[in-house]
Structure 1
Amino acid sequence: MARKKVQLQWIMNDTARRTTYKKRMKGLMKKVKELSILCGIEACAIVHSPYDPQPEVWPPPMETVRMIREFKCRPENDQSKKRLNQENYMRQRVAKAKDQLEKQQKKNRRIEMENLMYQCQAGEKGLQDMSIKDSSDLMWSIDDQLKAVGQKMEYFHHQAPQPGGAAAQAAVPVAQKTPLEVALESLENQMLMDVAPRGPDSLVTVGYPGSQDMMHPGPHGHYEDPSFWGPPFFT
Structure 2
Amino acid sequence: MTRKKVKLAYISNDSARKATFKKRKKGLLKKVSELKTLCGIDVCAIIFSPYDDQPEIWPSPLGVQRVLSRFKKMPEMEKSKKMVSQDSFLRQRIAKAYEQLKKQRKDNREKEMERVMFQSLTGSNVFLNMNMIGLNDLGLQIEHNIREICRRMETLNNIATMARPSNEEPSQQVEKSFGFDGQMNMEAMQKQQWLVDLMSTPPQQHFGFGGEEVMQPFADTINNNLWPNPFYP
**Who is 1:221 aligned against?**
none
**Who is 1:46 aligned against?**
46
**Who is 1:102 aligned against?**
102
**Who is 2:225 aligned against?**
none
**Who is 1:223 aligned against?**
none
Q: Given the superposition, is the C-alpha separation of residues 191 and 57 from structure 1 closer, same or farther in structure 2, using an over 3 Å criterion?
A: closer
Q: Given the superposition, is the C-alpha separation of residues 73 and 87 from structure 1 closer, same or farther in structure 2, using an over 3 Å criterion?
A: same
State the Cα distance separating 1:93 from its structure 2 match: 1.4
Q: Given the superposition, is the C-alpha separation of residues 152 and 22 from structure 1 closer, same or farther in structure 2, using an over 3 Å criterion?
A: same
Query: Over residues 83-103 of structure 1, what are the superposed CA-to-partner deviations in whole Å (9 max), with x where a residue is unaligned?
Result: 122111111111112112211
Tell me, yes or no, if structure 1 residue 190 matches structure 2 residue 184.
yes
Query: Over residues 172-228 of structure 1, what are the superposed CA-to-partner deviations in whole Å (9 max), with x where a residue is unaligned?
Result: xx9xxxxxxxx99x9xx8246xxxxxxxxxxxxxxxxxxxxxxxxxxxxxxxxxxxx
**Who is 1:12 aligned against?**
12
Distance (Å, rounded) in 2 between the aligned partners of 1:123 and 1:15: 64
State the Cα distance separating 1:115 from its structure 2 match: 3.9
Distance (Å, rounded) in 2 between the aligned partners of 1:116 and 1:3: 43
Query: Over residues 1-52 of structure 1, what are the superposed CA-to-partner deviations in whole Å (9 max), with x where a residue is unaligned?
Result: 5544433332233223222222222221121112111110000000001111
**Who is 1:124 aligned against?**
125
Percent identical residues: 43
Secondary structure of the 1:46 match is: strand
**Who is 2:170 aligned against?**
168
Q: Given the superposition, is the C-alpha separation of residues 169 and 80 from structure 1 closer, same or farther in structure 2, using an over 3 Å criterion?
A: farther
Which one has a bigger Cα radius of gyration? 1
State the Cα distance separating 1:140 from its structure 2 match: 1.9
State the Cα distance separating 1:72 from its structure 2 match: 1.2
Q: Which moved more, 1:140-149 or 1:51-60?
A: 140-149
Secondary structure of the 2:83 match is: coil
Q: How many pairs does the alignment contain?
A: 176
Distance (Å, rounded) in 1 between the aligned partners of 2:154 and 2:41: 55
Q: After superposition, where does 1:204-219 map in structure 2 within 5 Å?
A: none
TM-score (norm 1): 0.60
Structure with higher RCO (Cα < 8 A, 6+ apart): 2
Q: Which has the higher strand share?
A: 1
Q: Which moved more, 1:70-79 or 1:5-14?
A: 5-14
Secondary structure of the 1:83 match is: coil
Distance (Å, rounded) in 1 between the aligned partners of 2:126 and 2:11: 59
Q: Given the superposition, is the C-alpha separation of residues 15 and 113 from structure 1 closer, same or farther in structure 2, using an over 3 Å criterion?
A: closer
Report the AA paired with residue 124 of structure 1: N
TM-score (norm 2): 0.60
**Structural RMSD (CA):** 3.7
Distance (Å, rounded) in 2 between the aligned partners of 1:117 and 1:2: 43
State the Cα distance separating 1:152 from its structure 2 match: 5.1
Distance (Å, rounded) in 2 between the aligned partners of 1:137 and 1:35: 51
Distance (Å, rounded) in 2 between the aligned partners of 1:115 and 1:33: 55
Distance (Å, rounded) in 1 between the aligned partners of 2:21 and 2:125: 66
**Who is 2:144 aligned against?**
144
Distance (Å, rounded) in 1 between the aligned partners of 2:172 and 2:5: 68
**Who is 1:111 aligned against?**
111
Q: Given the superposition, is the C-alpha separation of residues 125 and 49 from structure 1 closer, same or farther in structure 2, using an over 3 Å criterion?
A: closer
State the Cα distance separating 1:135 from its structure 2 match: 4.4
State the Cα distance separating 1:116 from its structure 2 match: 4.0
